[in-house]
Amino acid sequence: MGSTGKSNVTVIGGGTGMPVLLRGLKNLPVDLTALVTVADDGGSTGRLRNEMAIPAPGDIRNVIAALSDAEPMLLDLFQHRFTEGNGLSGHSMGNLLLAAMTSVTGNFFTGIKEISRVLNVKGNIYPISNQSMSLHARMEDGTIVSGESNIPLANKKIEHVFLRPEPVRPLHHAVEAVKNADLVVVSPGSLYTSILPNMIIPQMDEALRQTKGKVVYVCNVMTQAGETTGYTAADHVQAIRDHIGETCVDSIVVHNEPISQHVRAIYAEENAAPVVYDTDRLIDMGLEIIESDIINSSKTTLRHDTEKIAKLLYSIIDRE
C-alpha cells in the first residue's frame, strides 16, 4: 500500500500500448507509477538524443500526456509536431520541452518531474534510466542489428536484445517502484523494442523477482512484423523468460473475443495476425490466464480499451 492507503500500481512499458493503459488507471483510486523506456532512437527523439546526449524523450512525452489533467489546448500544444521549418520540422513540442528542461535543471529525471508538475500529472513517471542508451539485437542467424528503430526493419527472427553502453544504470526510483508495488503491469507494445528494454536493465530483473506484488503481462492482440511474426501468447512470455528468467511473470491477460475478417485483412497487409492464445502451453508454464473482452475495435484498428482494461486490472488488485 502507498502512503495514501491506496494500492501501488507500477506499469512498465513504452510505445503506443502504455498510454492506453495509463489513461484508464489514472482515474482509479490507486497510487500509479509509470516506468518508461528511453531506448527509442527514431525521428525527433533520435535527433534530440544524438544532439544533446539525453535519454530518449518520445515515450516519456506520450506518458506525460496520458497522465496529465491539463487543459486540452495545453496538451495539444505539448503533443504538437512541427511540419515546417528547417531545424524544427519533425520535432514534437513536448520533446523539445523535455530537452530544454533537462538543460535547465541539468538532469533528465528532474526535467520530467518539473514538466509533470506544470502539466498536473497524476502519478509518478520514471525513465527506466537517467542515461542515454542504445538497444541492439542478436538475430538467429548471428547478425547484430543496432538501434531500436532498425531492429524490426531487419525482418529477421530475433534471438536476444541487449543494451549498450555497459553498465547501464537503472533509476533507483524505478527499481524501488517495482519492489514496492502491489501490482506490476507489463503493458502491451512492441515486445523487443518497447517492453524488454525496461526489463533487461540491471537490477530490474531482480526487482521483478523480489516484488511482493503480482506481475501481470497484458499480451498483445496482434503480432508485429519484424518482431513477433508467428508468435503465440506463450512465445511472448517465453521471450521475456529467456531474457530475465522464469519466475517473473505470474499472470497473463488475453483478449478472448473473435476479431473480424475485415480487420484481420487490414492487418495482414502489414504482415500482422491475431496472437493465438495457446492455453495449454500457458498453463504448463504455470501462468494464471485472465481472459476478457479488452479491445476497442474500430473498422480499421484494434486497440486495448482504456476503461475495460483498467477495470480488469483493478479487479485483480481487489482480489489480491
* Domain end marker among 93, 127, 161: 127
- Residue 120 backbone dihedrals phi, psi, to 5 degrees: 55, 55
The per-residue pLDDT for range 191-240, each reduced to its tens digit, is: 999 999 999 999 999 999 999 999 999 999 999 999 999 999 999 999 99
Residue 2, pLDDT > 70, answer: no
- Dihedral of CA atoms 240, 182, 25, 192 in degrees, nearest 10, equals -10
- My answer on whether 168 and 312 are in the same domain is yes
| CA distance linking residue 122 with residue 33, whole number of Å | 9
* Domain end marker among 127, 153, 186: 127
- How much is the pLDDT for 15? 86
Q: Contact 196/161 with Cβ under 8 angstroms? A: yes
- How much is the pLDDT for 3? 64
- My answer on whether 178 and 283 are in the same domain is yes
Count other Cβ atoms within 10 Å, centred on residue 43: 15
Task: Evaluate the omega torsion of the peptide bond into residue 167 and state whether it is cis, within 30 degrees of 0.
Answer: yes
- My answer on whether 115 and 105 are in the same domain is yes
What pTM does this model have?
0.94
- My answer on whether 192 and 271 are in the same domain is yes
- My answer on whether 74 and 205 are in the same domain is no
Asked if the structure places residue 199 within a domain, the reply is yes
The per-residue pLDDT for range 45-74, each reduced to its tens digit, is: 778 877 888 888 889 999 999 999 999 999
- My answer on whether 106 and 155 are in the same domain is no
Domain count, the chain: 2
- My answer on whether 160 and 272 are in the same domain is yes
- My answer on whether 153 and 248 are in the same domain is yes
- My answer on whether 191 and 264 are in the same domain is yes
- How much is the pLDDT for 218? 96
Asked if the structure places residue 1 within a domain, the reply is no
b/e sequence 128-137, b meaning 16+ C-beta within 10 Å: bbbbbbbbbb
| CA distance linking residue 160 with residue 139, whole number of Å | 7
- My answer on whether 158 and 198 are in the same domain is yes
- My answer on whether 105 and 184 are in the same domain is no
Q: Which residues pair with 138 in a beta bridge?
A: 144, 160
- My answer on whether 103 and 250 are in the same domain is no
Domain of residue 191 covers 7-37+129-319
The per-residue pLDDT for range 103-162, each reduced to its tens digit, is: 999 999 999 999 999 999 999 999 999 988 899 999 999 999 999 999 999 999 999 999
Residue 320, pLDDT > 70, answer: no
* Domain end marker among 127, 142, 173: 127
Residue 172, pLDDT > 70, answer: yes
Asked if the structure places residue 85 within a domain, the reply is yes
